[in-house]
Chains A and B, each alone.
Chain A
Amino acid sequence: MATQWTPTSAGSGGSTAEPEEQGFLAGGPGRAAEVAVVSLVEAGAVRISRDGLVSAVGGAGHGIGRTPLQTRVLRSLPRSLGDVIASTARGPEAQSLRRHLVDRGLVVSAGRRKAARLVRRLTVIGAMVVVFAKLALDLPFEVAAIAVAVALLASLILAPSTRPLTRAGRLTVRRLRAVAISPNRIGMVAYYGLLGKVERHHVWEVLGISPAAAATLRRRSRGSGSDGGASCGGGCGSCASSSCGSGSSSSSDSGGSSCGGGGGCGGGGGGD
């Protein structure tokens, strides 16, 4: 089974992002898995029953031109929609996609985020120590002021590295938002997620998926299952709030969101 994302296997290249990449950027590996399933449905390669059983369509050429995520989906069938998406999101193909996006400069690597957070914390602690020293040891005011200023500056410089997406990644999500409208069904899934809403309708409704099938999808709680914050998927996307699926402006470069944006509705991300 192909698990490595290459320009050939994913069809990616240049500055544009493929639908699964867009989904990953907007909602993490669960969203990418949703895109993989829905794109297979759109291609006539799988069907979803009323109860949410996803099954392969016979004679649909399952090995031809499929992405690694799609291949994994096809190999796991028949299975319920929620299980397919959760297991695909946890699979090595999703991790490979994340590394591919890191290599493309769209996602901040887990190591870099961790290091940036650590340095920020140390800087703040250092500044606090200096302030304490100023009060206790009667250090010159200028020394304390410079130390605090350095800490603030370092914190600002490191801030982007603590977010899951790079500036380019956030811009990609922002561009996706502009096209995630009907009839771009896959774009809607990538940006809002199946449990997200478009014009007061859940995306699964717009796609013609039955309520029973949608009920198999699992909502992700904020931060649940994040694999060390390696991607935006773990922290973006609780659908519990009323803002879910509204296409919030959290994709703004200056925003403090932990996620690139999107509706924030994971819709069964499970494994992120």
Chain B
Amino acid sequence: MEKLGVGIGWRPEIDLTVERLPGVDFVEVVAENLHVGHLPESLLLLRERGVPVLPHAVSLSLGGAEPVDAQRVAHLGALAEALDAPLVSDHVCFVRAGGLDSGHLMPLPRTRDALDVLVANVKAAQQDLPVPLALENVAALLDWPDGELTEGQFLAELVDRTDCHLLVDVANLYANARNLGTDVARFLDEIPLERLAYVHVAGGEEHQGVYHDTHAHAVRPEVLDVLAQLRSRVDPPGVLLERDDDYPADAELAGELAAIRAVLG
């Protein structure tokens, strides 16, 4: 996988901040928020500077029982071409079922049947995408019953059967460890780190004993500890800071990027 460096999620509210922040090697954009024919000036400027812009989808619902929406895949692919992106990504989850949209990234039952559905959908999407696809582990507040695989095993089999890349969100991994008892070390041991595309880092907060991956709070040291555990196993091609609300001062964002760089060494 090509080296990406350290990046930050590009959002319209902080476009000038992202442009000004020192040492931003790449950015990620939410694919559903962009129109191929009307790309924001800020993104075009970043591309002119040679900064990779990676489209990140949230609505393919690859783990859903319904066939993948070809239009959503086409949009993601068109965006990748318009931005000359080296890869695109979405999540290991479903967001729609029975005509309803959950509005959330819902976790999948870790059964072989669910894996078969996911693999079929991922392969269908890959056929229509012009660039490689990376898939991200989600933060879950529940585990479906009768799971047959650990999360790490589930992702490993997914990669093995589809040849997709992995986007490891260490904040989601931390959230699952806190809320569901996921074994971080085992997760990292089980996933094929050689297929790692990049890593997400984000902030969150604890509310009534449950950790919420809000993307609206500062990154916790515990999340950076998970990043350090990953770093002890592999040198990730890229690490990206996600912030989606209550954007702090430029200096604070720069500080969080510096903290990430410090962990990477």
B247 lies within 8 A of A57 (CB)? yes
Residues of B within 8 A of A51 (CB): 12, 15, 40
Q: A50-B40, A50-B42 are in contact. Are A44 and B249 (CB under 8 A)?
A: yes
Residues of B within 8 A of A212 (CB): 41
CB contact list, B54-102 vs A, under 8 A? none
A49 lies within 8 A of B249 (CB)? no
A58 lies within 8 A of B247 (CB)? yes
Q: Closest approach, in angstroms, between the C-beta of A52 and any C-beta of chain B?
A: 10
Q: How many residues of B contact A (CB 8 A)?
A: 15
Q: How far is it, in angstroms, between the C-alpha of A53 and the C-alpha of B17 when the chains are bound?
A: 13
Which listed residue (A49, A53, A57) contacts B248, Cβ 8 A?
A57
Q: Main SS of the interface on chain A?
A: loop
Q: Closest approach, in angstroms, between the C-beta of B40 and any C-beta of chain A?
A: 7
A134 within 8 A of B: no
B41 lies within 8 A of A50 (CB)? yes
Residues of B within 8 A of A14 (CB): none
A55 lies within 8 A of B252 (CB)? no
CB contact list, B239-262 vs A, under 8 A? 246-249, 252
Q: How far is it, in angstroms, between the C-alpha of A57 and the C-alpha of B252 when the chains are bound?
A: 10
Residues of A within 8 A of B13 (CB): 47, 49, 53, 55, 78
Q: How far is it, in angstroms, between the C-alpha of A58 and the C-alpha of B42 when the chains are bound?
A: 22
Residues of A within 8 A of B15 (CB): 49-51
A118 within 8 A of B: no
Q: How far is it, in angstroms, between the C-alpha of A173 and the C-alpha of B247 when the chains are bound?
A: 37
- Interface bracket on A: 10 to 19
CB contact list, B177-220 vs A, under 8 A? 216
A7 within 8 A of B: no
Contact with B along A39-75 (1 / 0, CB 8 A): 0000010011111010101111000000000000000
Q: Closest approach, in angstroms, between the C-beta of B220 and any C-beta of chain A?
A: 15
Q: How far is it, in angstroms, between the C-alpha of A44 and the C-alpha of B15 when the chains are bound?
A: 16
Residues of B within 8 A of A44 (CB): 249
Residues of A within 8 A of B246 (CB): 58-59
Q: How far is it, in angstroms, between the C-alpha of A172 and the C-alpha of B13 when the chains are bound?
A: 37
CB contact list, B145-199 vs A, under 8 A? none
Q: How far is it, in angstroms, between the C-alpha of A41 and the C-alpha of B15 when the chains are bound?
A: 15
B120 within 8 A of A: no
B36 within 8 A of A: no
Q: A50-B41, A212-B41 are in contact. Are A59 and B249 (CB under 8 A)?
A: yes
Q: How far is it, in angstroms, between the C-alpha of A78 and the C-alpha of B15 when the chains are bound?
A: 15
Q: Closest approach, in angstroms, between the C-beta of A24 and any C-beta of chain B?
A: 29
B39 within 8 A of A: no
Q: How far is it, in angstroms, between the C-alpha of A48 and the C-alpha of B16 when the chains are bound?
A: 8
CB nearest neighbor in B for A51: B12
A58 lies within 8 A of B248 (CB)? yes
B14 within 8 A of A: yes
A49 lies within 8 A of B16 (CB)? yes
3 closest A-B pairs by beta carbon, nearest first, are A58-B246, A58-B248, A55-B13
With A49-B15, A55-B247, A210-B41 already in contact, 10 other A-B pairs whose C-beta atoms are closer than 8 Å:
A44-B249, A47-B14, A47-B247, A50-B16, A50-B40, A50-B42, A55-B13, A57-B248, A59-B249, A60-B249
Can you identify 15 A-B contacts, CB atoms within 8 angstroms?
A47-B17, A48-B16, A49-B12, A49-B15, A50-B40, A51-B40, A53-B12, A53-B13, A55-B247, A57-B249, A58-B248, A59-B249, A60-B249, A78-B13, A210-B16
